[in-house]
């Protein structure tokens, strides 16, 4: 059995005070979270230490990015060990915004994933296609290519990795892949993982990301290959994120 993982990506939102207030609200609302699922929240770098210091009722802490070196002259970057020291156990890698806005390549995603694993944390490796790629019939080729390029060098460690399928056209747009379309892509990803790492593929959690909301999470989570959600905007509102984390399957 794969334990579903609900992750909140707060992106560039919330001051330290706001982040602490949201964390406190989540800790209350998720105190009775069913044991058969896990939750992680990913604040901005400036709020990580303050959030990590709060009582969190089992809510894990993750970062939104990392640089794949132990230390060095990399102005503006942050090392895996620094995140680990704060209390992070997850790191989002290769989010579509990092790929599109900051030019991250599959090769860089692979380096970051390896660095996060080496630091004793779990990478959430994001993959996904643009609307143009989907409309041209290239969605599966694009996504599976990202999976292979990002994870082939880690074929013996796949069970330690989380993948998030996030169709770029559904992020922040209000559009969501149908549950059937999402399941089809998740199944294809698992098939690619099987070609990379054999039976480990059956243990890898594959999240869906892209306008996940309280009113669509139950249907998404009912699909056999969807093992959680990477939540954006709805993760910024305590009531919405609590309902998503308490999905009914």
Per residue in 181-218, pLDDT tens? Answer: 999 999 999 999 999 999 999 999 999 998 899 999 99
Rg value, the chain, Cα: 17
User: If pLDDT is split at 50, 70 and 90, which confidence band does 57 have?
Assistant: confident
Per-domain residue ranges for the chain?
Answer: 5-245
pLDDT at 131: 87
Across the strands, what pairs with 248?
A: none
Q: Is 95 known to be catalytic? A: yes
- Of 95, 97, 129, 133, which is the active-site residue? 95
- Of 133, 166, 186, 192, which is the active-site residue? 166
User: If pLDDT is split at 50, 70 and 90, which confidence band does 87 have?
Assistant: very high
Average pLDDT score over residue span 27-40: 95
- At 92-113, the pLDDT tens digits run 999 999 999 999 999 999 999 9
User: If pLDDT is split at 50, 70 and 90, which confidence band does 171 have?
Assistant: confident
The structure tokens 């309902």 sit at 243
- Whole-number Cα distances in Å, 196 to 4, 150, 167: 22, 11, 22
Gap between the Cα atoms of 137 and 135, Å rounded:
5
Contact 245, 23 (CB under 8 A): no
CATH 3.40.50.720 fits 5-245, yes or no: no
């Amino acid at each position: 059995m794969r334990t579903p993982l609900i992750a909140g990506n707060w992106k560039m939102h919330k001051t330290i005070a706001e982040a602490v207030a949201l964390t406190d609200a989540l800790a209350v609302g998720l105190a009775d979270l069913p044991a058969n699922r896990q939750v992680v929240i990913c604040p901005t770098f400036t709020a990580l230490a303050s959030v990590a210091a709060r009582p969190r009722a089992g809510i894990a802490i993750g970062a939104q990015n990392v640089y794949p070196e132990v230390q060095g002259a990399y102005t503006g970057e942050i090392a895996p060990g620094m995140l680990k020291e704060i209390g992070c156990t997850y790191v989002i890698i290769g989010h579509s915004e990092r790929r599109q806005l900051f030019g991250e390549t599959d090769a860089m995603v692979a380096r970051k994933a390896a660095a996060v694993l080496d630091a004793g944390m779990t990478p959430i490796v994001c993959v996904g296609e643009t609307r143009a790629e989907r409309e041209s019939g290239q969605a599966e080729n694009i996504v599976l290519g990202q999976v292979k390029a990002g994870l082939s060098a880690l074929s013996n460690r796949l069970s330690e990795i989380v993948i998030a399928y996030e169709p770029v056209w559904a992020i922040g747009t209000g559009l969501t892949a149908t549950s059937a379309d999402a399941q089809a892509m998740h199944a294809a990803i698992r098939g690619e993982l099987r070609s990379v790492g054999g039976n480990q593929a059956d243990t890898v959690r594959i999240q869906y990301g892209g306008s996940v909301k309280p009113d669509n999470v139950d249907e998404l989570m009912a699909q056999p290959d969807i093992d959680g959600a990477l939540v954006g905007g709805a993760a910024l509102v305590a009531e919405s994120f609590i309902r998503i984390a308490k999905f009914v399957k």
